[in-house]
Structure 1
Amino acid sequence: MNQQAVVQATRRWVEDVVVDLNLCPFARRELINNRVRFAVTDVQTPDALLGDLQRELLKLVDDNSIETTLLIHPGVLQDFHDYNDFLAMADGLVEILELEGVIQIASFHPHYQFAGTAADAAENYTNRSPWPMLHLLREASLEKAIAAYPDTDAIPRRNIERVEALGANHMKALLQRSLTDPSNPVG
């Protein structure tokens, strides 16, 4: 898979879904300031992904010009349940590297499904992305942003309300558009 095309599509998704729908009120600034690292790996196994995850975690800790990293892995963990199981290993790696409280991992997947929801529920689109990815966040920056933002506890509820108002079909079209020509209008 062409890594540049994966980055372009992921960036379109961040712009059109995460930023334009304001699902993450902190994303726009970092995207505009070019402090989001889009790292694509072509690994094919969870073990190899752990190796790339370790490299990206350490890079984020060492490089202050990067605020957050999206580790995109289109070739591995396509099944959401396998991906979800892998998250425990990812968190274990954070612990082994003694990065708890320093870096946290958020999860995005094309088939993301919150517990207790139907597979086609609109709310799942708050965490659906073009490809499986691990979002590495600096906890200190996150805490600072949360402290400056009113009522962060309402963000998940507000996001669910927003995507439910748009509907699953609209959200699916937005996600699909990120994988195609950005000038193609969403119906």
Structure 2
Amino acid sequence: MPSSSTAIADTRRWVERAVIGLNLCPFAKAVQVRGQVHYAECASDDPAQLLEALLIEARALAELDSAERDTTLLVATGCLADFLDFNDFTGEAEDRLAEEGFEGELQLASFHPDFQFGGTEPDDIGNATNRSPWPTLHLLREASIDRAVEAFPDAEAIFGRNIEVLEQLGAEGWAALDVGRGSAPDPESA
């Protein structure tokens, strides 16, 4: 199991090189530059504990002003390595967030090392739009999403553009980004 610093470093590198570097999310750079992205890790091997960690992070996000924390990435390093299990868990997590009163306030996006869109092959480069080094749950404020969509009215075009970018980049280009696990040096071993 990685140290917390390694998993967070892997995730930060992925955000900086892939999400921002390839402009896969045109809204990510501003919050990253302003330090409004919170990175957290749950190392538990129990999905129930991951769900509890997600609820704790959701409460913390909702309690803080968006100028201080606009979004949270919760990295799961101890469980849900299987994409289908993770996908099922994400549905349960969305339901639980709604039960806890976050519907209309927070949205959940998910990223996984083996993410696969329905109807695609596992090695389809388009799947990389949602591939992260670790299973990751992304809490977003709906108000921030609304503001971003107002500033970028053609938000539906982002997905198609991302697929084009990744197809041009290809598997070798994606690999060259070095956004997988453990590529970042572990500060504890230095």
- TM (normalized to structure 2)? 0.92
Unaligned runs of 5+ in 2: 186-190
1:73–1:133 Cα contact (<8 Å) kept: yes
Superposition deviation, residue 179 in structure 1: 3.1
- Higher relative contact order, chain-length normalized (CA < 8 Å, sep 6+): 2
SS in 2 for 1:167: helix
CA root-mean-square deviation: 1.3
- Aligned residues between the structures: 182
Deviations, residues 132-180 of structure 1 (Å, cap 9, x unaligned): 0100000011111111114111000000110011112322342545631
Q: Tell me, yes or no, if structure 1 residue 79 matches structure 2 residue 86.
A: no
SS in 1 for 2:133: coil
2:134–2:181 Cα contact (<8 Å) kept: no
Deviations, residues 112-144 of structure 1 (Å, cap 9, x unaligned): 000000000000000000000100000011111
Superposition deviation, residue 102 in structure 1: 0.5
**What residue number does 1:140 align with?**
143
Which residue identity lines up with residue 121 of structure 1 in the other structure? D
Give the counterpart of 1:106 among 106, 109, 115: 109
Name the CA shift for 1:155/1:46 in 2 (closer, same or farther; >3 Å): same
2:14–2:179 Cα contact (<8 Å) kept: no
Identity %: 45
Comparing 163-172 and 56-65, the one that deviates more: 163-172
Give the counterpart of 2:128 among 125, 129, 133: 125
**What residue number does 2:100 align with?**
97
- TM (normalized to structure 1)? 0.93
**What residue number does 1:23 align with?**
24
Unaligned runs of 5+ in 1: 183-187
Deviations, residues 42-85 of structure 1 (Å, cap 9, x unaligned): 11111111110110110110011110000000111000000001
